[in-house]
Each structure stands twice: as C-alpha cells, then as structure tokens.
Amino acid sequence: MNKYQSLALQLKQQICEQIWRSGEKIPSVRACSRQAQVSTATVLQAYQLLETEGWLVAKPQSGYLVATNIRQVIQAEGETPPPDAPPMRINDLLYDVFQRTKSSDFMPFSSAFPEANLFPQQELVRSLASASRKMKENSALTNLPPGSYELRRLIAQRYVQQGLSVKPDDIVITTGGLEALNLSLQAVTQPGDYVAIESPTFYGALQAIERLKLIPVEIPASVTSGLDLDVLEEKLAAYPIKACWLMTNFQNPLGYSLSNAQKQRLVSLLNRHEAYLIEDDVYSELYFSEQKPLPAKAFDPQDRVLLCSSFSKCLSPGFRIGWVVAGKLSDQIQRQQFLSTISSSVPAQLGISHYLLHGGYDNHLRKLRTTLQHRKTAMITAIKQAFPKQTQVSDPDGGYVVWLSFPPPFDCQKFYELASQANIAIAPGTIFSLQQDARQHIRLNYSYPLNPKTLTAINTLGDLAARCLRSESEASS
C-alpha cells in the first residue's frame, strides 16, 4: 500500500469512529502533513482519493469537510460497526441493570430516579443561566470544599425550618449524595471495621463496604416492621461496629420509615457503643403524609450522625449536587473530598442556589409529591391486577419505588432476564442483599404515568411472574 493510500485508510477509520463527523472540517493539508510526517503532496493525494470515493467534500477557502451523506458511504463500503464490549465480571448484575436503565430501548422500571419530566427543567436552566452570568472569576476558589456558602446556607435553612439546629458550616457540598455517603464512610472507618447495614439495603452501601474492605453486618428489615432495632442492639453488643449506614425515611428498597421514637432509640444505641450513623436521607422530601419526616440527626446532641442527602431525587439527577451535615467531622470529610474530586461542579452549585432562592422549590415539591402519590396508587392497582395473587406489593408512604415479594423458589434474576428480553428493565432483589431470600423480590419504579405503554409493560411483567412461579414450582416438585 502506498503512503497516501494508507493515510486515506486511517482517515476512513477515524470517520467510521466518528472522530470526524458528517459536515465537519478535517485538519488542513499542512496540519495533517506535519502530524503524520508525510509530504503535503501525499496528504493532498489522500484527500483527493477520499473525495473521489465520496468520503470528503472540498470546500473552497475552507478545506475538506466530511461528506454529509457519510452514513450511506460507510454502509456502501460494507464496513462493520465496532465490536461489542467484552463480557463483564464482578458486580455484573448491578452494572447491567444500570446500563439497561440508561438505554432508551428499555422501559426503565429499574430506574433510581423519578421520571425525567417530573423535574422543573425549564426553571432550573433559567437559574443556571442567571447564576452563570454572575459567576465571578475566582468562583472556583471560593466554592472549593466545603462548597458555596450560599448553597450551604439555603440547605441549613431547610433543616432549621424542621427544627434542627444545623449551621452552614456543618455542611459539606458533594458530587451527589453517593459521594457524601462514601466520604462519610471513609471518614469514620478503617479497613477491617464492621459496618451495620439494612438487609435489604441500597446497593451503594454494599459496594462501598466491599471497596473499602469493611465487614458488613446485616440487620434484618421488612416492609411491615421496618428495621429490627433489637437485632441491631444485639449486634452492636456482639461486634465492634464502627458505623451504621441506614436509611431512616422511605428506605430504599422497602419503603418503610422509622418513627421518631425509633430514631431516638437508634441514636442512643449508637452513643452507647460509640458508633457513627451514616444517615442516607435522600427521599425525605417525597413524603405523602402531613409533614416531612425528621432525620435521626434531629435526635443527635452528641453529633454522631452524618446526615447525607442530595438534590438528585427531587430536582435534578444530572447536576450531581449532594451534601453531608458533618458537624464536627466536617474538616475530616473535606480532606477526603479534596483528595478525591476536589469539589463539586461550581456552575451546578450556583445554579441550584439560584433556583432555591428564586425558582419555587417548595411549589415544585408539592406538585411532585402529589403526582408521585397518584402514580403510586395507579401503579399498585395495575400491579395487583396483572401479577399472580401470591405477589405481595409494598405501599410506601413516600418515594417512588415498590417492593414486590414472591413465594420461594421465585428467582428474581431469571425474572430479570425474561423481562429484559421483553425490553423491560427491573431491579432484581439480589442487588440489594447478600441473603439467599433476596431472590424472591424485585423493585419497581412507579413514577411513570399509567398510559397504554406502561400498562402493557406491567401486564407483561405479571405474565412473566406467573410463568416463573409456575415453571419453578413444577421444577421443584
């Protein structure tokens, strides 16, 4: 192959890989010659060849552009698309669920966020634009950890309105709630420490424990009776537990909340054993009853609770703004953050601050809660009609997920596979727990409107569940 032919081949490949897109200018002959270390004559020959073959178009005064009908050109040449990614290893299932949730081909009942159009996108974007225009040159420095003072002040305000005594300086802004939780866990544990979690729990807790080489102590929890504080008390006595990572309101995936008395008991247990509570409280704004539930932090005079939350479930998943009410551990958390992500994105911090001040957050939340509550009722009704009668469905008082339980030997992973084949993504119980009986459960996001498409999907899931129960009971008999 000549030099110019080989150069032309390289360029074709780059175009196939969309490095250069339809209609886009490619590097000048001179730039390409310098970079590829061939003569300008060779480059010109290559470009002319590609022009002849329809890949490029020469435009006077402006050089060579990629042809606008480039897709047809590529297909006509019989080029194959790039190969599929290699198969996945650990945490395969979790990552697979996440990928399917992302794909627009799937009905995303597995999603960890409410339906995207329930967020006040327009208002938030207006706030982002306004706040950006006022951004100062040194804003990157002044909004380094602990983060924008104004944003911390507005968050503290919301807690103070609930009767908590939270100061802006108690708060550290993070890249979403998950970073807040991870930094908190790192701040209070060393590898080899014991950490208590609910079973089932938010999968992020299981993963963090594995990554930080901690030892999980699972505390049983159920839809009907919530977290078993008696067992927690026993375990705290039996193991040198350093921290508990728990959800106190609208627990994911079960949906229960601890009562105030239980929250008080929880904190006093921790105080007795000098353990910390990492409180994951990302759903408390999405309550359906009279008023917003308190976090356990409200009963924490000794500053043992690291209260973590975010705007990702109520306002915008994509801004990646969360926080931790860290109190005396604030400095410790900031150090961890300074060494991992340095700070959360400044425009996102300022955009959300502006929205909290001017955008009508509380109005939005009121509407969001009403919608979610209606959708819950509709979805639960549909589920009960579509699923086999042995199915148990949770009826949470907030949030946007329901927990479905099936009699053994139901296998949620088999169900997950069948649902995926029908282009429906669900969250199998096994991503939430290390226990065997995790297989009998699935989690569904109910934040979608019950239109014909959703209803069909629910009915399909019901049929598949019946099939799973039937075939498994046949297999086991």
Minimum CB distance to a second copy, residue 215 (Å): 6
CB of 89 to a second copy, least distance (A): 9
In the complex, least distance from residue 200 CB atom to a second copy, rounded to whole angstroms: 17
60: contact with a second copy by CB under 8 A: no
Q: Is 137 in the site for a second copy (CB under 8 A)?
A: yes
Amino acid at 177: G
Q: b/e map of 38-73 (b: 16 or more CB within 10 Å)?
A: beeebbebbbebbeeeebbeeeeeebbbbbeebeeb
Under rule CB under 8 A, residue 429 binds a second copy: no
Using CB under 8 A as the binding rule, whether residue 282 contacts a second copy is answered as no
**Binder to a second copy among 38, 93, 215, 229 (CB under 8 A)?**
215
Residue 157 as a binder of a second copy (CB under 8 A): the answer is yes
3-class secondary structure, 42: helix
- 433 closest CA partner among 187, 197, 138, 149: 197
User: Applying CB under 8 A, does 359 fall inside the site for a second copy?
Assistant: no
Regarding 305 and contact with a second copy (CB under 8 A), the answer is no
Closest contact distance (angstroms) between CB of 462 and a second copy is 26
**Residue 58 or 88 with smaller CB distance to a second copy:** 88
Q: Does 1 bind a second copy (CB under 8 A)?
A: no
Q: Is 297 in the site for a second copy (CB under 8 A)?
A: no
Q: What distance, in Å, lies between the first and last C-alpha atoms of the chain? A: 67
CB of 145 to a second copy, least distance (A): 9
Report the residue from 59, 71, 213, 384 that binds a second copy according to the rule CB under 8 A.
213
Q: Rule CB under 8 A: is residue 39 a binding residue for a second copy? A: no
User: What is the DSSP track for 325-382?
Assistant: E-GGGHHHHHHHHHTTTSS--HHHHHHHHHHHHHS-HHHHHHHHHHHHHHHHHHHHHH
> Would you count residue 84 as binding a second copy (CB under 8 A)?
no
Phi and psi dihedrals of 281, rounded to 5? -125, 50
> How many other CB atoms are found less than 10 A from the CB of residue 458?
24
| By CB under 8 A, residue 142 contacts a second copy | yes
C-beta closer to a second copy: residue 356 or 404:
356
82 near a second copy (CB under 8 A)? yes
The reply on whether position 19 binds a second copy by CB under 8 A is: yes
The closest alpha carbon to 202, from 282, 315, 270, belongs to 282
Q: Is 102 in the site for a second copy (CB under 8 A)?
A: yes
User: Could you tell me which stretch among 172-180, 245-253, 258-266, 298-306 binds a second copy (CB under 8 A)?
Assistant: 172-180
Find the part of the chain contacting a second copy (CB under 8 A) among 83-91, 228-236, 253-261, 372-380.
Answer: 83-91
- Token pair of 197 as six digits: 């979690």
Contact yes or no for 239/199 (Cβ under 8 A): no
Among 23, 240, 360, 407, binds a second copy (CB under 8 A): 240
Q: CB 82 → a second copy: shortest distance, Å?
A: 7
Does the footprint of a second copy cover residue 182 (CB under 8 A)?
yes
What token pair was written down for 239? 């193991």
Selected range binding a second copy among 28-36, 383-391, 400-408, 439-447, rule: CB under 8 A: 28-36
Place of tokens 């990157």: 140
Give yes or no for residue 239 binding a second copy (CB under 8 A): yes
For residue 429, report the phi and psi dihedrals to the nearest 5 degrees: -55, -30
Taking the complex as a whole, the smallest distance from the CB of residue 349 to a second copy amounts, in Å, to 9
Query: Exactly one of 85, 452, 475, 477 binds a second copy (CB under 8 A); which one?
Result: 85
Phi, psi of 227 (to 5 degrees): -80, 135
Query: Which of 76/141 has CB closer to a second copy?
Result: 141
- Going along 27-118, which residue ranges are E strands? 56-59, 63-66, 107-108
- 144 touches a second copy (CB under 8 A): yes
Q: Which is nearer to a second copy, 70 or 404 (CB)?
A: 70
- HSE of 422, CA atoms in CB hemisphere, 13 A: 20
Q: Collapse the DSSP code of 116 into the 3-class scheme (helix H, G, I; strand E, B; otherwise coil) and give the result.
A: helix
Distance from C-alpha of 391 to C-alpha of 441, rounded to nearest angstrom: 10
298 contacts 338 by C-beta, under 8 angstroms:
no
When asked if residue 110 is in the footprint of a second copy (CB under 8 A), the reply is no
Residue 91 interacting with a second copy (CB under 8 A): yes
Give the phi and the psi of residue 314 in degrees, each rounded to 5. -115, -25
Q: Applying CB under 8 A, does 317 fall inside the site for a second copy?
A: yes
**Is 301 an interacting residue with respect to a second copy (CB under 8 A)?**
no
